[in-house]
Every structure is written in C-alpha cells, then in structure tokens.
Structure 1
Amino acid sequence: MLEDWKQRRAAKRIKAGDGRPLQPFRWWQLLSGRKLFYLPAIASARGFRHAVDVRFWGKQGGDNGKAHLYVDDRHHAESTLPAAFPIDDGTIEVAISGFGLKRMHYIRSDSAEQQLTADPRSAVGRRLRLDRHHPSVSRWIGAVSVLLLIVGLGLNLLQVIEPISQIPPVLEHVGRIESPIHLPLWLNVTLVVAAALASMERGLRLRYHWLLDGAVT
C-alpha cells in the first residue's frame, strides 16, 4: 500500500517533455552538478535507449534539480525529485541526498534492479571507472570516507549530549552529563568539511546511509 501511494505521488510530479535533443556531456559540466545516466536499449523491453539528465545549476538548473528523461535522445518527460518514470516493463527511480545521487535504478516489474550507467565523462562516471580499474585504491578511498563520517558523527553526538542533558526533564531523570571532548572551533569546522567531502565522494558512487550521510545534511 505504501509503495502504491509513493507511485501515485511520483506520477503527479511527472510532466510531458518537449522533444528537445539530449545534449552531450561537456568537460566543464564536471563542476556544474550535472548527472547523466543511460539505460541501454538492450535493457529495454521495446528496444529504446533511455537517458536521465539531472542538473542543479546552469541552463536547466533553474528548475531546482529536476530529473529529465530522454527516450532515444529526445526529451520525453521531466519530474521533480525524487522521481519515478514508468517505462516499458518497469520504472526508473531517481533520488538525491544533500551531496549527490543516492539512487538511479531501473526497477523491472519482477522487482529486479539495475543501476543505470553513468556517462563516462561525468564525475560519477570517472569515479566508477576508478572503482573498476583500480579497485584497491577505490576501496581505500571508500574506507576513508566512511571513517570520516563515523568520526564526525561520534564527536557530534558526544558534544550534543551535554546541552541535551541540561534540559530540565532530562536533567531531573538522568542528571547532568559532561562531554569528555570539547573541540576548538577550527577543528569542528574541519570535521564538518571533511564529512561533507566524504558524503560527496559516496554520492559519486551512489552510496547512501541514512545515519552516516543523513547526519551530515
């Protein structure tokens, strides 16, 4: 029932496309926040190639980061995020976090999932290529990202315990709790920036965890 409700809400967000051609990915769009993914024709029940273009700035960025669906390189539909485009024998789902994509998958009617292929020239495509060609380096980068998020989350929790314990109802039942750690402002800022960069790196691999990455946003 919940899934049906989500699909109905997603359907209301979809608008018909205008048929414009899909623009190729340009190198300067690496810093523009553009995300471009493809579902090859072989994966489509009707043999169509689908592409999903998500932009946060620039010419198509004024729509506050909509997802644009292209069918055989023609603009077919658009939707605010999160988006769910019904195609052929399934649905393309698109969702973002505060630091990047967390979902870009084709869900078939039999519930099988397939992640769309990132344009090789995009930031996501380059990061995934590193993962394929240099898996050891990629694993180390991924591990450092997770470690930074865990450290940042743990230190934040320790520092918020003290002010929470001073709330009268909490103070009455638990007593005052003093945090064993008091970090200087510069170190707090550094940890926040490091955690944000870690979440951005995970976003390039479409990795997301509600506690680790959600705590940053």
Structure 2
Amino acid sequence: MSVFGMRRCHYVTDEGPEYQLVPDPRSAEGRRARLEREHPALSRAIGLLSLSVLVAALAVLIPQVAEQLTRAEGIARHTGTFTSPIGLPKWGNTVLGLATAAAGTERALRLRYSRLLDGAG
C-alpha cells in the first residue's frame, strides 16, 4: 500500500507461488498498461513528460514555500527573509498545479513505484 492506494497486488497460493495481478483492461490502469504494451515509445515519452513536469513543479514549489515560511515574523527574526527567484502569476501557479496533478495521476496509473519519486511510504 502507498499513501494513494495500492502500488501493486500479488496473489499468493496456499502452496507458495506468487502471481502479480493485472488490472482490469477497462480500468484506467489497464488502459495505461495497454498503451505501454502497444506503443512503448509514446508511453516512454509520456512518462518522461510527467517526470519533467513533477521535477519542474518541485523546483518552483520549494522556493515559493521557503519565501512564505520566512515571511513569518518569528522565523524571519532568526533566519532573515527569503525572496523566491521564481515568481509566477496566479494563473501560472494554477496551470502548474493542474499539470502536476495530471503528471501525478499518470505516475499512479503506471503501477510502478520509485521510493525517490513516489515517496518513502
């Protein structure tokens, strides 16, 4: 299990053999698996795009969060204030948020797990 659901599921028989279960072909995970099987180059490109979006969002988010945290008077007194070098307008943050949600959903549908990318949970 992960924070967002199951990473993968195995069926273990009474005799001991273990079989990884596959998603229903009509589910979103099943359609994503079929895309990967039938069009591996397109699947890789989509995966790289989603990874790029997530890395870019992280690069934008960390400085913005640091700026907000250091605005607090108690923290600013001890550490000083930080001004993010990246200042997106509200619509830019909204678009980045929607792109990040789509990229995260794509990662979840792939039924692959990476501790580095998907969290240590």
TM interval, shorter chain, is 0.7 to 0.9
Does the 8 Å contact 1:96/1:103 carry over to 2? no
Give the percent of matched residue pairs that are identical in Structure 1 and Structure 2. Answer: 44
Work out the CA distance in 2 between the residues paired with 1:171 and 1:131.
49
DSSP-derived class of the 1:203 partner: helix
Work out the CA distance in 2 between the residues paired with 1:171 and 1:163.
10
Question: Equivalent residue for 1:106?
Answer: 10
The structure with more radius of gyration? 1
Question: Equivalent residue for 2:91?
Answer: 186
How far apart are residue 136 of structure 1 and its match?
Answer: 1.4
How far apart are residue 104 of structure 1 and its match?
Answer: 2.8
Work out the CA distance in 2 between the residues paired with 1:102 and 1:139.
22
More strand by share: 1
Does the 8 Å contact 1:102/1:203 carry over to 2? no
How far apart are residue 155 of structure 1 and its match?
Answer: 0.6
Work out the CA distance in 2 between the residues paired with 1:156 and 1:211.
17
More helix by share: 2
How far apart are residue 134 of structure 1 and its match?
Answer: 1.6
Work out the CA distance in 2 between the residues paired with 1:113 and 1:191.
41
Deviations 1:149-195 (A, max 9, x none): 11112211111111211233432332111111111111110000001
Does the 8 Å contact 1:148/1:195 carry over to 2? yes
**Residues 209/169 of structure 1: CA separation in 2 closer, same or farther (3 Å cut):** farther
Q: How does 1:1-217 map to 2 (within 5 A)?
A: 97=4, 101-106=5-10, 108=12, 114-208=19-113, 212=117
Give, as a single letter, the amino acid of the residue that structure 2 aligns with 1:118. Answer: P
DSSP-derived class of the 2:8 partner: strand
How far apart are residue 102 of structure 1 and its match?
Answer: 4.0
**Residues 195/169 of structure 1: CA separation in 2 closer, same or farther (3 Å cut):** same
Cα RMSD (Å): 2.8
Question: Equivalent residue for 1:87?
Answer: none
Relative contact order: is structure 1 or structure 2 higher (C-alpha 8 Å, sep ≥ 6)? 2
Alignment gaps of 5+ in structure 2: none
